[in-house]
Amino acid sequence: MTTVQENTLNDTDTDTGVDTDTGDAAPARARAWWRSATIYQVYTRSFADSNGDGIGDLPGVRAKLPYLAALGVDALWFNPWYPSPMADAGYDIADYRDIEPAFGTLADADALIAQAHARGIRIIVDIVPNHCSDRHRWFLQAVDSEPGSRERSRFWFRPGRGEDGSQPPNDWRSIFGGPAWTRLTASDGTPGEWYLHLFAPEQPDLNWSSPDVRAEFEDVLRFWFDRGADGIRIDSAALVTKDPDLPDLSSNPDPHPYEDRDDVHEIYRAWRAVAESYGGDRALIGELWIPDAERFARYFRPDELHSAFNFPYLCSAWDAAQLRSVIEQTLAVHARVDAPATWVLSNHDVDRHVSRYGRSDTSFGLDRREHGRPVDVGLGTRRARAAAMLTFALPGAAYVYQGDELGLWEVENIPADLRQDPIWRRTGGSDPGRDGCRVPLPWSGAAPPFGFSPDGAPADPWLPQPPAWSGLTVEAEDGDLRSMLELYRAALRIRRQDPALGDGTLTWMPSGESVLDFLRDGRFRCVANLSPTDIALPPHEDVLLQSTDLAEGLLPPDATVWLRVAD
């Protein structure tokens, strides 16, 4: 196992297990790394393909570690990298203790972790506790076992309803469309029990009242912590436990039979104990879509998770009043439990924010992807620049989804026969799904595969890249001071160097409607102009960074500026 080397760039790094800590702790060092980190999300399949099969892989990521270090990120979160039939892009895990062969080997992961640590970059792995793959050994054993067996007790098997059991056990629907139940059929054609899957049929839900399940996952956590993982992203964290009576949703059961149930917290208390046994700087980060702020905060009680993704911020329209209300509520909720806020603009499940902010409705909902509506990419890009600077100035940790730093937009015209997302298939195409934000990154060159795969690669990238991305490659943006990439690099450099940024609090300054204006620590001021007119800058000593050229000292619409102000 490796530990993280002190990164000389990272003044606010607060790791407790750092090898070269000098011990001369500045105040900002008193708090843990995950409270301030900029976390870069690596969607391995689409990051960089080292061997030309059209699929990104871990050697590809290793080769790009210098790029990621120079970008200035503190940690990498990898979407599931385990062996998987890929019914849901790896969120259907067949073996939690190995690496998907298309991505590489366990030795590749070990080398990647060690090399990232040597550069001061931490590693977060994605664990999926709600369900596994229907190819996982446990599910294969369960299918081969009798109803009522220990093997079946690890999942949710039930007889069907109706005289011949031909109706599902209840009325739950899959989050990906269609029923949440699939019936087994024996090899001789005899129909059997049904099993629950809140997502695709290839993702059977695990039953967390089984002691086997609890012990297994605690062991999986140890497996990855032992290999050097610094954090765990917990998939679908609030869906994991179920009401054992499995009541129909149409009977309006209260509490909800599978969302945010009270008994889920016991699981994370046990996981926290595992994390703490590694010395206190391993982070647990929940994927929680919980609208109720009080319920959300319960997950960050001192013996539970460390943080979670801020989806209300991601879903907010590009509107100052809405954003301010989300920011205020986020900070208030997190302050009560002393958890760091996080700020997320995009991820592998949502439309890229350049496209969202270029539509007439700039808000987002998982159930309304708005594909096919006009997108003003220029406007979306301008707002994305302003949003990135706003995001990096807010108190807490920030996430960057790969390609955000290049200003990639949502690819809406992927041909039907190339689409892979089960959401698209299971909704008969009525929901376009998530392929459009998962298109392989453009690194260099004037045409696809844009350096994603090596020259002369035998296979095309697994999803087609738009030829128009030729201006958005790393090569094209590198050194162009007007590019998104250089904006991200500059912003992250300041974020690392300025102790005012990252963890802490903010002070709102009086501002016009449609303007977000706040101080961090008294001398760092962020002003985001979401109004349609230029605004005057407050008195300042220096302009640290701007998302758009200032117009004769005025801040134009859809622009953010960072200022150094007098005490």
Does 91 sit near ligand NOJ (CB under 6 A)? yes
Smallest separation (angstroms) from ligand NOJ to the CB of 179: 17
Contact residues for 374 (Cβ-Cβ < 8 A; gap 6+): 359, 360
Distance CA 380, CA 567 (A): 35
> Which listed option, Ca ion, ligand NOJ, none, makes contact with residue 55 (CB within 5 to 8 Å by class)?
Ca ion
Q: Is the peptide bond between 255 and the residue preceding it cis, with omega within 30 degrees of 0?
A: yes
Does 88 sit near ligand NOJ (CB under 6 A)? yes
Q: Which is nearer to Ca ion, 57 or 431 (CB)?
A: 57
Does 259 sit near ligand NOJ (CB under 6 A)? no
> Which listed option, ligand NOJ, Ca ion, none, makes contact with residue 49 (CB within 5 to 8 Å by class)?
Ca ion
Q: Which is nearer to ligand NOJ, 36 or 307 (CB)?
A: 307
Consecutive H or E run containing 159: none
> Which listed option, ligand NOJ, Ca ion, none, makes contact with residue 199 (CB within 5 to 8 Å by class)?
ligand NOJ
Identify any residues that bridge with 122 across adjacent strands, giving them in sequence order.
75
Q: Which is nearer to ligand NOJ, 267 or 555 (CB)?
A: 267
410 is catalytic: no
Q: Supply 174's token pair.
A: 């899959």
Does 134 sit near ligand NOJ (CB under 6 A)? no
Query: Contacts with ligand NOJ: how many residues (CB under 6 A)?
Result: 9
Smallest separation (angstroms) from ligand NOJ to the CB of 335: 27
Q: Which is nearer to ligand NOJ, 199 or 401 (CB)?
A: 199
**Separation of first and last alpha carbons in the chain:** 45
Q: Which is nearer to Ca ion, 58 or 94 (CB)?
A: 58
Distances (CA, A) of 99 to 55, 104, 109: 14, 6, 8
Nearest C-alpha neighbor of 275 from the set 227, 339, 217, 232: 232
Alpha-helix residue ranges (DSSP H) falling in 421-542: 422-426, 474-477, 484-497
Write the binding mask 26 to 55 for ligand NOJ: x where contact by CB under 6 A, - elsewhere: ------------------------------
Does 236 sit near ligand NOJ (CB under 6 A)? yes
Smallest separation (angstroms) from ligand NOJ to the CB of 349: 5
**Annotated catalytic residue within 49, 74, 235, 558:** 235
Nearest C-alpha neighbor of 2 from the set 87, 95, 119: 119
Alpha-helix residue ranges (DSSP H) falling in 52-192: 58-63, 65-71, 106-118, 137-143, 150-153
> Which listed option, ligand NOJ, Ca ion, none, makes contact with residue 526 (CB within 5 to 8 Å by class)?
none
Q: Supply 105's token pair.
A: 């080997």
Does 96 sit near ligand NOJ (CB under 6 A)? no
CB 213 within 8 A of CB 154: yes
Give the number of other CB atoms < 10 A from CB of residue 40: 24
328 is catalytic: no
Does 235 sit near ligand NOJ (CB under 6 A)? yes
Write the binding mask 344 to 363 for ligand NOJ: x where contact by CB under 6 A, - elsewhere: ----xx--------------
Smallest separation (angstroms) from ligand NOJ to the CB of 283: 18
Site for ligand NOJ, residues 281 to 310, rule: CB under 6 A: 287
Q: Which is nearer to Ca ion, 53 or 171 (CB)?
A: 53
> Kind of pairing, strands 535-536 and 554-555?
antiparallel
Consecutive H or E run containing 479: none
CB-nearest residue to ligand NOJ: 91
Q: Which is nearer to ligand NOJ, 6 or 349 (CB)?
A: 349
Site for ligand NOJ, residues 187 to 226, rule: CB under 6 A: 199
Q: Which is nearer to ligand NOJ, 88 or 134 (CB)?
A: 88
CB neighbour class for 251 (10 Å; exposed up to 12, middle 13-18, buried from 19): exposed
Contact residues for 350 (Cβ-Cβ < 8 A; gap 6+): 314, 356, 364, 366, 434, 437
> Which listed option, Ca ion, ligand NOJ, none, makes contact with residue 212 (CB within 5 to 8 Å by class)?
none
**Angle made by CA atoms 222, 31, 304, in degrees to the nearest 5:** 45
Q: Supply 84's token pair.
A: 């998987």
CB 331 within 8 A of CB 506: yes
Q: Which residues bind Ca ion (CB under 5 A)?
A: 49, 51, 53, 55, 57
Q: Supply 155's token pair.
A: 């999942």
Q: Supply 87's token pair.
A: 């019914």
The residue within the footprint of ligand NOJ, chosen from 128, 288, 344, 384 (CB under 6 A), is 128
Catalytic residues: 235, 287
The residue ranges that bind ligand NOJ (CB under 6 A) are 88, 91, 128, 199, 235-236, 287, 348-349
